[in-house]
Structure 1
Amino acid sequence: MYNIIIIFLLVPNIIFSQELYSVDSLSLETNVDCMLLDDKKERKKFNRAESVIIKGRQDVKRLYDAMDLVNKLTSPLHRSVLKTEIYWLREKYFEAMNQGLRVIENCPDEFPYVYYFLGHISFIQKDYVASANYLKKSIELELSDPYYSDAIMMYEKAKILSDIINNPVEFKPFVIKGISSKYDEYLAIISPDQEFAFYTRRLIKKTKQDIAETSVEEFTFSQKKDGVFSYGDAMRYPFNLTDNEGGATVTIDNNVLYYTKCSRDSKGYNNCDIYYTTKIKSLDGTYRWSESKEFPKSISKKNAWDSQPTVSSDGNTIIFSSNRKGGYGKTDLYEITFENNQWSVPKNLGTNINSAEEEKSPFLHTDGKTLFFSSTNFPTLGGFDIFYSRKDSLGKWQKPINIGYPINTSTDEVSLFVSTDGKTAYFASNKLIGEGGWDIYGFPLYEDAKPERVLFLKGDLNDEDGTFVKDIEIEIKNLTTQKITTIKVDKGSYVGAITLEDNDDVLLSIKEEGYAFYSEYIDADDSNYISPSTLNIELEQISEGSSFKIDNIYFNTNSYEINQISEQVINEFINYLRVNKSIVIEINGYTDNVGSFRDNQVLSENRAKAVYEHIVSNGIQKNRISYNGFGEEFPVDSNDNEEGRSKNRRTEFKVISK
């Protein structure tokens, strides 16, 4: 049985070899002479054939005459040498590769241009590692013109691409459950808070009127519940009115959606434009999307492909892909900015991003500094590859970096986006084993490609009665740079994102008149604030005689020296006193019951005094501030455990008058 199988496998190869090579079976020869032909007649035939091949470089028809001359050569080696070039010139790369491999197998150091042909073929076939090796060898063997210059340029490219392949990045994809189904899903985006997903699903449908099944694209919405996305539903009105909608992006508060809508004109041109819609709360408490609106004509061009928008975390910048006139390539990336209550004219992102090839599928991360996109420009491993670029200190986009192999392959990779915390990247693929054809996948993003750290906070803002607090501002201060980001509270809820370095701590504060001072110190290593995070805030209304506690005013054991964290918090409280100019405050210090009663009394008074002196030294009038120490009296929790004792060690602020 095994003999029959072996014969069956070998017979096609024998026939194939006879058809292509006739007697050019060099591997069967012994003592092959790799030197130039000594026989004058044979050398004359060789030179004649070579001369016709040279002419055939400009006139392919002459190559047929050259092949006749080549077949008259006695030496199988030299027939294969010339046939390699003939087949290469005729773009019969499989045949050229086989002839060339026979030559270098027998004579590895004699024919540099055979290595060049093999290198060129390997490059076309996207085998960049082999291409670099062949081209390097051709140069080492002193390849001459007309191929030398091209070999140098091609080798430099092949070397870069082979280095990408030889240095693979971590890539462990997993299918996104719920969104991915037996149907095709693609052009996906997950909201910055990771709660909603928008994507296109291609369904196979058949109505009673249809004779055959038809393929239908639906712009689809999915919501996460218990950590898993739902199957998803088709977006209702005003969506799915045409047969080609999707490629969406959403603001960080999930209230404004930008998406692409395409339609064919009377001439059959598929015109694509970017639309936007706003979330509206209905009387019954549910939400719906407003009528979609197109951008003005200064942005949306007739007979142009404007598509795949991505919006910045502050909502003031949109980057999109377009084939409009005046670009550098077939499709370029452009940006528009919202200034003076209107969107600017589109601005090309420039030659650091755009090329003479194609750029599309942009994704601007929540950090506002990292841009992912797809491009067919070098260095691409084939088709569209995913690249990323970062803004420098001047706000200019730096040279893009190929995200690496095996994320990128010899086929197209598009539509990558990254989670707010920078840890997970998402993309669509039909090359992996998922739920159906095209599915949505995620994978842990390797360190070098991660965006900068982002603190993403959202939550509700209520008073102690549970009533939404409106029209106030939350300040988030970067304690390293002292930069302040202001978030406006809209209808009792807020959302905000700031970009940070890995070691930056931040202080969130509210200094609203009529309410107690509120602060939240967020340490860079605090695992409770891995983005995105929810922080619901309760503000206390102040009245004469009421007290409020300020967290994060700490002292070392048996010390009343204000540490650095406490100083930052107290400084923001000083700003609160400057906003609330008439308020008079009494600072009250408390301890736990560890130590003697007398010592705790003295320690609490010294700590309250230290806070008082720091406030007064920063310009607050003494008649607005007083202090007391109560030691271990008036505990708010049990002193029988550390958790309770930590609550009893506190600094409270009593409102004397407002």
Structure 2
Amino acid sequence: MLSKAKHLFKKIEQMNKFIIILIFTIAVLSANAQHSREIAEGLAREAKKAYQQGDNKTTERLCLEAIDVDSTFVNPYLMLMNIYYSYGYYKETEFYVKKLIRNNPDDYVEIYYVLANIVIQDKRYEEAIANLEKYFSYPTDQLKSAQLAKKLLLDAEFAKEAIKNPVPFAPENLGDAVNSEYDEYLPSLSVDGQMLVTTVQVPKTYEAWGEKPYQEDFFISYLNNGIWSTAQGMAEINTLQNEGAQAISPDGKFLYFTACNRQDGLGECDLYYSEWTGVKWSTPQNLGAPVNSPYWDSQPSISSDGKSLYFASTRDPQSDKPNLYVSTKTSSGRWGIPEKLPIGINTDFAEQFPFIHSDNKTLYFGSNGLPSFGGFDLYMVQKQENGEWGEVKNLGYPINTENNELSLIVNSFGDQAYFASNRDGGYGKQDIYKFELYENARPDMVSYLKGIVYDAETNEPLIADFELIDIAKDEKIIVAKSDSKGKFLVALPSGIDYALNVAKNGYLFYSESFLMKDNENKEPFLLDVPLKKVKVGETVVLKNIFFETDSYVLKEGSISELKTLLGFMNTNPKLNIEISGHTDNVGSKTHNQELSLNRAKSVFDYLVKNNISENRLSFVGYADDQPIDSNETEKGRANNRRTEFKIVE
């Protein structure tokens, strides 16, 4: 990022360039004019000098005097148009544009493109279309803005129809704990929705000559009982320079952000990260190549599994505008070479502020190259089952307007979106708002698992390894650690059955399953994990060992748990275990005894087949003799149907 004005590629900047071109072109024509207008030309020359010096007040006064002297002289009109447009005075700009067209309807073709840009700000799409059609009626070699005019025509035709079908949109300010008299923007949210990080423009404590009087810093707020705490500066990360355009990882442990012109930087702006240790944020580190380049790299967004990093970059040598890229972690844990997202998402214009939802497949972003209501609009696109991106969708009016809408984020459940706005009724300049996201713009719902790992005897928190595994694919989705306070937080996208394994040297591992393939869980999983020290008599329930009903044949989904048990036996070569099978009380005692024994033997056979000595293993069936829950309910009976192992001498 970091200066917003420098990198947003606003439509105003584009328009000013074309009006300036007109000014200098017409200046040559007027020098050869045959009519005497010495006084008006003199005033216009003085106005031009004032304009070039940035003195807009003097420019305006001299231009108005020149028009009074000679109302047919073009140059002062164009300078007035440029000034008024740059300040957003569209009615005044339109007045002088139309006056110029009345006096010289065919002499200055670009003026029709200018007028279309103005009236689209007022949602007068039919009028914009008419002016653009007039523009394209002239010979092609006269059209200096043909590419931009084609895009504007596409926008006007899209907006004319789309505005007839507004979407629900009721923004709610997050309040004065998060917002202040300053600019707050670019919110980022942890997967549990309880940690909010924003970029804030704060006054500089020291202002060097020629520098802007503010800097961008990070502020963090926490949600407690539905109330946001007062935002505090992130002292370990903030510096006297700018930090901005951040993304908090869904587990709240990593902050990825943008910093520019740093001594360790590779380009104009680079991506950095800091890690939460449980006590403080670590010293930020440059992500290095190949993520960073000699160009402008900014606006990161990290996937919920921590394996994909989306960002905006100007590294494409064929364009000076930012497009969207993604870097994927390799099997070695290093970031791979970034790949540019495909055409359809990226355009010949600018794409910025990607946000990958924690479902790992819904991407929101800003663009001024796709059909829009004018300027930058917000879009969404979803990755399909085959890995290809689907159709890009405009989020609609009034989420998008004729102004620039650049970024938003969506909570894990997919029903609330957050964005920044300087709309009336705020606490200062830009504030953070949220709104309920309408159904068709929502991502897949994502739940989360949150808890603490601790010693079962002492209750002391533990730093432990945990793995979240896709049972069907036997694929590790997340490999991480609890922090120094034992805390962990993991996103659980719907549509997948998960196995959780938590382990620490000197302790028995802990397993749990979260079956979400066929249903969406709208409630988070809150789970405290007591780890037992390895000692004789301690047991572990193998919650991810699965059998078909009334069968002892292991289901394929059991493989991840079997591998975990195998790894535990190899890590602890002196341990001996008893594998036991258990049933509920449904069926005969004889049948349940045989079934429980054979199920235990299936696990025994797997370990023996994978080179664990039979001398270290035994197996037994207990039928329904050792229930751990009531057999009066289906849930209780399900808990009683289990496979365990116990440490024996």
**Which digits, 9 at most, give the CA deviation of each residue in 1:633-658, with x for residues without a partner?**
x665678x759965884546363747
AA paired with 2:228?
F
Tell me how far 1:536 sits from its aligned partner.
Answer: 2.6
In structure 1, what is the equivalent of residue 120 of structure 2? 126
Counterpart of 1:476 (choices 466, 469, 475) is 469
Q: Which residue of 2 aligns with 1:508?
A: 500
Partner of 2:68: none
1:629 correspondence with 2:617: no
CA 563–527 in structure 1, closer or farther in 2 if over 3 Å, else same? farther
**Contact 1:322 / 1:334 at 8 angstroms: preserved in 2?**
yes
Q: Identify the residue that residue 308 of structure 1 maps to in structure 2.
A: 299
| Separation in structure 2 between the aligned mates of residue 648 and residue 346 of structure 1, nearest angstrom | 46
> Following the alignment from structure 1 to structure 2, what is the Cα–Cα distance between the partners of residues 344 and 638?
51
- The 1:525/1:183 distance shift into structure 2, 3 A limit, reads farther
**Residues 607 and 120 (structure 1 numbering): CA distance in 2 closer, same or farther, change over 3 Å?**
farther
* 2:244 aligned to which of 227, 243, 246: 246
- Does structure 2 retain, via aligned residues, the 8 Å contact 1:318–1:336? yes
Offset, 1:428 = 0.1
- Secondary structure of 2:218 counterpart: strand
1:406-436 superposed Cα distances (whole Å, 9 cap, x missing partner): 1111111123112233332211001253444
Please give the secondary structure, in 1, of the residue aligned with 2:120: coil
- For the pair 1:561 / 2:550, whether they are aligned, the reply is yes
Which of the numbers 261, 276, 283 marks the counterpart of 2:273? 276
The alpha-carbon distance between structure 1 residues 652 and 332, as it changes in their structure 2 partners (threshold 3 A), is closer
> What does residue 169 of structure 1 align with?
167
* Alpha-carbon contact 1:136-1:155 (below 8 Å) kept: no
Q: Give the fraction of aligned pairs with identical amino acids, expressed as a percent.
A: 25
Alignment of structure 1 residues 87-106 onto 2, 5 Å = 93=94
Matching residue of 1:444: 436
Contact 2:597 2:619 in 1 (8 A): no
Once the two structures are TM-superposed, the CA of residue 323 in structure 1 deviates from its matched residue by: 4.2
Relative to structure 1, is the Cα distance of residues 159 and 129 closer, same or farther in structure 2, using a 3 angstrom cutoff?
A: farther
* Cα shift readout 1:232-285 (whole Å, capped 9, x = no counterpart): 11221441312x3222123344333232234699xxxx954433333446xxxx
8 Å Cα contact 1:374-1:414 kept in structure 2: yes
Cα distance in 1 for partners of 2:538, 2:225 equals 40
| 1:569-597 deviation digits (Å, cap 9, x = unpaired) | 766554455443775535353646xx9xx
**Paired residue type of 1:259:** F
CA distance in 2, matches of 1:166, 1:337: 41
1:141-156 matches, within 5 Å, as 146=138
Question: 1:389 maps to which residue?
Answer: 381
Which whole-Å CA distance do the structure 1 matches of 2:562 and 2:334 have between them?
38
Amino acid at match of 2:470: K
Greater CA deviation, 451-460 or 437-446? 451-460
TM-score, normalised to structure 2, is 0.65
State the partner residue of 2:528: 536
Letter of the structure 1 residue corresponding to residue 528 of structure 2: N
Counterpart of 1:561, as a letter, is: D
* Partner SS for 2:319: coil
Q: Where does 1:69-84 land on structure 2 (aligned, <5 Å)? A: none
Q: What's 2:59 paired with? A: none
Question: Are 2:429 and 1:461 aligned?
Answer: no
Gaps of at least 5 residues in structure 1 are 1-55, 66-85, 101-116, 208-212
Alpha-carbon offset, residue 179 of structure 1: 1.1
**CA spacing shift, 1:542–1:567, aligned 2, 3 Å:** farther
Q: Which amino acid counterpart does residue 655 of structure 1 have in structure 2?
A: K
Mapping for residues 206-355 of structure 1, pairs under 5 Å: 217-242=216-241, 244-262=242-260, 272-280=269-277, 286-290=279-283, 292-296=284-288, 305-323=296-314, 326-339=317-330, 343=335, 347-349=339-341, 351-355=343-347
Cα gap change, 1:525/1:171 in structure 2, threshold over 3 Å: closer, same or farther? farther
Q: CA deviation at 1:452?
A: 3.7
Counterpart of 1:518, as a letter, is: S
Residue 63 to residue 361, structure 1, CA distance change in 2 (3 Å)? farther
Gaps of at least 5 residues in structure 2 are: 1-25, 36-73, 82-92, 102-110, 207-211
Change (3 A) 1:576 1:386: closer
Cα distance in structure 2, aligned partners of 1:62 and 1:168: 53
Distance change >3 Å, CA 626–CA 450, structure 1 → 2: same
Q: For residue 620 of structure 2, what is the amino acid of its counterpart?
A: S
* Counterpart AA for 1:653: E
Query: For the aligned residues, what is the CA RMSD?
Result: 5.2
Contact 2:201 2:216 in 1 (8 A): yes
Distance 1:341 1:179, change over 3 A: same
Number of residues paired by the alignment? 533
Give, in whole Å, the separation in 2 of the partners of 1:637 and 1:612: 20
Is contact 2:496–2:515 with CA below 8 Å preserved after alignment?
no
Distance 2:469 2:522 in 1: 14
- Worse overlay, 469-478 or 130-139: 130-139
Whichever residue aligns with residue 273 of structure 2, its letter is: Y
State the 1:334 CA deviation.
3.9
8 Å Cα contact 2:116/2:129 also seen in 1? no
Distance between the aligned counterparts of 1:612 and 1:496, measured in 2?
A: 33
Look up the match of 2:364.
Answer: 372
Note closer, same or farther for the CA distance 1:235–1:636 as it changes in structure 2 (3 Å cut): closer
Residue 326 of structure 1 aligns to a residue whose secondary structure is: coil
Q: Take 1:152 and 1:491, find their aligned partners in 2: how far apart are those partners?
A: 54
Give the residue type in structure 1 aligned to 2:398: P
Write the deviation string for residues 432-486 of structure 1: whole angstroms up to 9, x where unpaired: 534443111112223333334445434333342235555645242244x554435
Q: Which residue of 2 aligns with 1:611?
A: 599
What's the secondary structure of 2:359's corresponding residue?
coil
The equivalent residue for 2:582 is 589
CA distance in 2, matches of 1:644, 1:136: 68
Judged with a 3 Å threshold, the aligned counterparts in structure 2 of structure 1 residues 562 and 455 are, in CA distance, closer, same or farther, namely farther
Higher relative contact order (CA 8 A, sep 6+): 2
Letter paired with 1:414: L
- Do the aligned residues in 1 keep the contact of 2:158 with 2:373 (CA within 8 Å)? no
- Pair 1:607–1:235, CA change in 2 (3 A): same
After superposition, the Cα gap between the structure-2 partners of 1:165 and 1:584, relative to the gap in structure 1 and judged at 3 Å, is same
**In structure 1, what residue type is equivalent to 2:230?**
Y
**AA in 1 matched with 2:255:** L
Quick check: 2:463–2:481 contact (8 Å CA) kept in 1? yes
Within 2, Cα distance between the matches of 1:388 and 1:308? 17
- Alpha-carbon distance in 1 for matches of 2:287, 2:562: 46
Q: Is the 8 A contact 1:199 1:221 kept in 2?
A: yes
SS at match of 1:406: coil
Structure 2 distance, partners of 1:630, 1:463, is 30
Which sits farther off after the overlay, 160-169 or 389-398? 389-398
Cα 1:628/1:341, change in 2 over 3 Å: closer
1:328–1:578 distance in 2 versus 1, CA, 3 Å: same
Q: 1:169 to 1:235 in 2, by over 3 A?
A: same
What SS is found at the alignment partner of 1:163?
helix
Q: CA deviation at 1:128?
A: 9.3
Give the match for residue 188 of structure 1.
Answer: 187
| Contact 1:428–1:440 (8 Å) recurs in 2 | yes
